[in-house]
Amino acid sequence: DIVMTQSPDSLAVSLGERATINCKSSQSVLYSSNNKNYLAWYQQKPGQPPKMLIYWASTRESGVPDRFSGSGSGTDFTLTISSLQAEDVAVYYCQEYYIHPPTFGQGTKLELK
Amino acid sequence: EVQLVESGGGLVQPGGSLRLSCAASGFAFSGYWMSWVRQAPGKGPEWVANIKQDGSEKYYVGSVKGRFTISRDNANDSLYLQMSSLRAEDTAVYYCVRAPPTISSLLGDSWGQGTLVIVSS
């Protein structure tokens, strides 16, 4: 199985500031035949299920604000929130869907400073 | 509006069995891969199993192979997870998850609220 490791485990950011979360996979999730990275990001607020934000490493799901962006390729990926809003406080998970079984990172808890 | 409503969770003794159900509405259920994903308290999600639109393909995470069975009833827009030989480490909230049709069967674009399974004596 692919191991997904996120950093940091927790992060405190002021309103309006940038938040950056990293995710590293134990093997490449870039599929050479289509040049796509099989990497997604989810947001989970307390008491709620995860919500998919980004797939193909950088494609925003419909309705996701453009302050959320994803980048990276191969084994190293980043989720950036350009200007933190209060409603962005949540736990964020990366997930690879390159091979069975798909695996998730351990999560990064984003809080307000 | 897409709705996925899980039921069937509860407290069960180690070695016991439980059947989870998921009632789907608001979309053409028979046209989607469906999954079960679980999340232990304070942990990240763990994908458990998924099933193709017509039920002809099923995949499981290694830790549940031979103990869990995923199935579906497209006539009644329902997804199931039969769990047996339950262990303490199966304790988690179990989510019913729909896969986005044109992206990957291993993603989840809609999730239910989950049903809690506790395995304890």
The 10s digit of each residue's pLDDT in B94-103 is: 999 999 988 9
pLDDT (0 to 100) of residue A46: 94
pLDDT tens for chain A, 113 residues long, are 999 999 999 999 999 999 999 999 999 999 999 999 999 999 999 999 999 999 999 999 999 999 999 999 999 999 999 999 999 999 999 999 999 999 999 999 999 99
Q: pLDDT (tens digit, 9 = 90+) per residue, B7-27? A: 999 999 999 999 999 999 999
A 28-87 near B (Cβ less than 8 A): 38, 40, 42, 48-52, 55-56, 61
- pLDDT at position A44: 98
Beta strand pairing call for B78-83 and B68-73: antiparallel
Q: Are the beta carbons of A104 and B113 separated by less than 8 Å? A: no
User: Among partner residues A49, A56, A102, which is closest to B111 by beta-carbon distance?
Assistant: A49
- The C-alpha atoms of residue A41 and residue A51 are separated, in whole angstroms, by 9
B103/A65 Cα distance (integer angstroms):
20
* Residue B99: closest C-alpha in chain A: A52
Chain A: closest CA distance from residue B106 (Å): 6
Residue A35 CB partners (closer than 8 Å, separation 6+): none
Q: Is the CB of B23 inside 8 Å of chain A's CB atoms?
A: no
Task: Look at chain A and count its residues.
Answer: 113
For the residues of A84-106, what is the DSSP string, one character each?
Answer: --GGG-EEEEEEE-SSSSPEE--
Are A55 and B100 within 8 A, CB to CB? yes
Give the residue on B whose Cα is nearest the Cα of A62: B109
What pLDDT is stored for residue B12 in this prediction? 98
- Per-residue model confidence as pLDDT tens digits over B59-85: 999 999 999 999 999 999 999 999 999
**Cis bond before residue A50 (omega within 30° of 0):** no
Q: What is the model's pLDDT at position A99? A: 94
Q: Which of B29, B15, B62 is nearest to A101 (CA)?
A: B62
* Chain A residue numbers touching B113 (CB-CB < 8 A): 48-49
Indicate the helix (H) or strand (E) that contains A50.
none
Report CB contact under 8 Å: B45, A106: no
Residue B93 has what pLDDT? 98
What pLDDT, on the 0 to 100 scale, is given for residue A38? Answer: 98
Q: What percent of chain B has pLDDT over 70?
A: 100
Q: Mean per-residue pLDDT for B19-46?
A: 97
CB contact under 8 A, B111 and A55: no
Nearest to A61 among B59, B109, B114 (CB): B109
Q: What is the pLDDT of residue B101?
A: 86
